[in-house]
Structures are given as structure tokens and as C-alpha cells.
Structure 1
């Protein structure tokens, strides 16, 4: 093969490669234009300095490009692990994961942050994200309530460890919601036993609500169910005490009206026995 022929083949091959490259570029550009979450900063390897990557991550996040924002924060964590921006990027990874509905990823990133930087200024926020992520996983009362327990644990840590943080108020609200769920679960099981006349098991569940979740929205019904349960068992003193505590704390409640009617129809009335566990627990109720 002569040199000219060989050069011509090489030129042709090179021309083909250029054409192929241009074609691929066009396809990439078309794909980028159609991708709703494409990087608004630039398309290149994530080798920029950490401060640049961090600003790009924030820019993408502010534009609603959360996938690209996460990629930038991941790049900082991977390429610049010992920089100050790696600390900032890690808590932002947790936030973006939570925002994307990736609760377990958010918990993992935030927990890692707390392990690495327990005394940092963003530690309260990382702990709050853990609580938020667990709160998002709380199911209906008919299902397992492990996420509710985890929410209580995480949000109580926010309240106890970071009492002056801006997240305390919402942490308390999420805490109340989680406790309402747990109390609701106890009520569901208690009603199940009551319907089947398994009174001891039912009373145990209703007692748990009154003693362990006294500030929840389930307490009124729990006291009324105790009136019903103890009356059915023939333990009238406890039934009367439960009605008295219910009437003292929630005098306008329909639950109290029903309990009063049940006792009155059988020649009884609400009467508190100060030695009863119900009387002691009544001092902690929301209406006490």
C-alpha cells in the first residue's frame, strides 16, 4: 500500500470519527435539552475545586435540579473529603435525599454527619433531618409503628440536645404526631380485644394510652373505653374513677356523656378513687 493511499485511508477514518463525534454531540445536546433535571452549570467531569462544586450544587438545588445538586455534593464528598466544603456538602446530601423522598439515604447521610461533626453548627439540623426522614415513614395505625418510635427518639434528641435551635418547635409538633400514632395503634388493638370480650387485654392497652401518652388526642376515648371495660368486668370502682377523671378533664366530651349514661343507667355515677392508678395518671392529662 503506497503512502498516499494509506494517508487517504487515515484521513477518511479521521473524518468519520469527527462526524461520529459531532453526531454524538448532537444527540447529547438533544438529550440535555429534554432532560428536566440536567445540570444548569455545565457538563464536565466533577473535578472543579470544592467551593466551585458547592456553589454549583446550590445553584442546581435552587433551580429545582435536585439530581444534579446531589451529584455535585457527592463529588465534593468523593474528591475533596478533607475540605471544609466536604462537611457542608454532607449535610446538604442529607437534605437533598430527604427532599427527593429518599428517607433512608437522608438518615444515613445525616447520621454520618453527626458521627463526623458532632459539635458543628449544623449538627442540630442534621439531627432534625433524621427526625424528619423517620417521620415521613410513619404509616397508618394498622401497620408497624417502628418509624414512629424512631421519630420520637430523633426529635427528642433535637429538643434535649439543641434546645435553642430553630428546629425545636417543629420537632415538638412531629413528636406529638408520632405519639398520637402510637396511641392510636394501642387503641386499635384495645378495641379489637374489647370486641372479643378479652377485657384484661383490652384494659391493658387502654391503660398504656392513659399512662404513656397522656397528652395525645386518644386519651378521651381511652378513658371512656376503660369505663366500658371495667364495668363489663364488674370492677365498678375503677369504671367510676375512669368516668370521673374523664369528666374532670373533658367535661364537654361526647365520650364523657356516653360514659355517664352507661353508669347512670346502672345506678352508678362518676366517683374518683384517689388510690386508683387512673386517678394518679389523671394528674398528667392534657386537661388536668
Structure 2
């Protein structure tokens, strides 16, 4: 089981198995099970045991039986969300989303509703293969993750959602950088500048790992088109925010090579260049 699956397993235990609900051992390995009327707890625990063993279809069938036999019980509500989680474990993300949405529509005020929203977001997040090519999936993941943060800002789910948002935004910023670098190889400086500026001006990208390089590439691009003062401004912002970075060292070397003097912090502040800064000082 991956660390992410472990994390979700812990979350589902906290959300659904509180109060001493544990899986019972001793379930016989039978392909066909004859269901008879029995206590909800027995059915639920047998389903949980099948889930722990990775027997997802068996677990789903048993969780569904909890709902069928005991539709108005608290066990049925738990089973409904566990069906969504089981589909997630089986990488059946559409089915997982559908079950989680059904839970939310029927029990919007339930204490496990935050987890249902989180599970929907994670299903979208898991399906992101390439943020640059798969824009629709990326947008749905961002919307769902932001929804978790907006609805439950102080919850553990929101904390994890923020981390995943940062991961997605970092990949999106990386895609912008790749396109900008491509334009540089084609000597299309203005097109490259637009991409690099988006990385430093988009508030979702300003804390990503790509900001120092974006500032350096802007220095490089501005110098190549003769916009020396803009190059000095970007260099000053880079030096102010990331003074010890490799990218500032490369920028300083480039300015020296081109015979352009770096602007001191005091002068940059006097010119108003540092009133709007980027990266870690935001």
C-alpha cells in the first residue's frame, strides 16, 4: 500500500470506525455467499475484513448488503461512504466519486461529510497524469481541493488539500517554464517573457519552486532585447527574495558579463521596485 493509501486508510478509520467498530477475523474464503438477515454490525465488520484483505468486490457487495438490510441505521451511512472508499482503493475513481456525492446529497450535515468531499478531491487528484495536457482533470482537481479548503479550513483534510494544491500549482508553473524555455530556444523573447512573467505574477505560482528561475530567465530575456532597466529590476527582486540561490548567482554573473551593474537594495527600494515582491516574502 502506498503512503497516500496509508494516509487515506488512517483518515477513513478516524472518520468511520470510531467507537469500537473493528473488523472481525475468520471470514471464510468463499466465492459465493448466501446472505441472510443478520445484524448490521456483523455484515459491516465482514465487509471491513474483506476490504483489509484487498478483496474489493466482496467488500462492496457486503457494504451494499448493509444498506439493503438496514437502510435507516447508522451502519448504512457508514457503509455508504465505505463503498466510496473501497472504489477508491480499487482505482475505480468515477464510482468512488459517485458514491461520495450520494453520501453528501443524503447526509450533508453528517460528521463524515468533510471526508466525502476530500475523497472526491483525491479521486480527481489521482487521475492527473500531465497537468499540461490534461487540463480538464487538473481543473476539476483544483476545484475539488479548493472546495475542501473553503468548506473545512481547519480540518486535517484541508491541510492535506493545501499540500496537494501546492503540488498541482508547482506542476502548472513548471509547464509555463518549459514553454518559456522553448520560446527562448526559438529566439522568441517576448513570448518567453509572457510565460515567465505569469509564473511570478500569478498568485498561485508565486510560492512555487520555479520563481527563482523565472526571475533569472526574465533578466536573461530583457537583456537580450535591450531592456536593461527591466533586467536590473528583476535581478533586484531575485536578489531580495532569494539572495543565496543558484539562480541569483547566475544572474549576477550574467549582469557582470554584460557590463550591467546590479542595483543595490536601497536604490531598488527608492525606485519602488520592491514594493511588490515575490516568493518567500509574500
The verdict on a shared fold, with TM-score over 0.5 as the criterion, is: yes
Deviation of 1:139 (Å)? 1.8
- Give yes or no for the alignment of 1:227 onto 2:228: no
- Give yes or no for the alignment of 1:180 onto 2:174: no
Equivalent position SS for 1:167? helix
Q: Is the 8 A contact 2:101 2:116 kept in 1?
A: yes
Aligned residues: 249
State the partner residue of 1:124.
114
State the partner residue of 1:101.
91
Q: Is the 8 A contact 1:180 1:217 kept in 2?
A: yes
1:83-127 Cα offsets, whole Å, 9 max, x none, are 433322221111111111222222222223222222110111111
- Give yes or no for the alignment of 1:199 onto 2:189: yes
Deviation of 1:69 (Å)? 1.0
RMSD: 2.7
1:37-87 Cα offsets, whole Å, 9 max, x none, are 985797114765544432221122233322211222233445655543332
Deviation of 1:148 (Å)? 3.1
- Give yes or no for the alignment of 1:261 onto 2:253: yes
Equivalents in 1 of 2:137, 2:276: separation in Å? 27
Aligned residue among 232, 239, 242 for 2:234: 242
Q: Is the 8 A contact 1:46 1:72 kept in 2?
A: no
State the partner residue of 1:286.
280
- Give yes or no for the alignment of 1:214 onto 2:198: no
Aligned residue among 96, 102, 105 for 1:112: 102
1:193-231 Cα offsets, whole Å, 9 max, x none, are 222122222112111111221111111111111111222
TM-score, normalization by structure 2: 0.77
Equivalent position SS for 2:280? coil
Classify 1:120/1:231 alpha carbon distance in 2 versus 1 (closer, same or farther; 3 Å): same
TM-score, normalization by structure 1: 0.76
Bigger shift: residues 93-102 or 158-167: 158-167
Stretches of structure 1 lacking an aligned partner (at least 5 in a row): 1-36
Equivalents in 2 of 1:102, 1:269: separation in Å? 58
- Give yes or no for the alignment of 1:86 onto 2:52: no
Q: Is the 8 A contact 1:227 1:243 kept in 2?
A: yes
Equivalents in 2 of 1:154, 1:223: separation in Å? 31
Deviation of 1:177 (Å)? 0.8
Stretches of structure 2 lacking an aligned partner (at least 5 in a row): 1-26
Deviation of 1:268 (Å)? 1.2
Larger Rg: 1
Equivalents in 2 of 1:280, 1:146: separation in Å? 36
Bigger shift: residues 56-65 or 234-243: 56-65
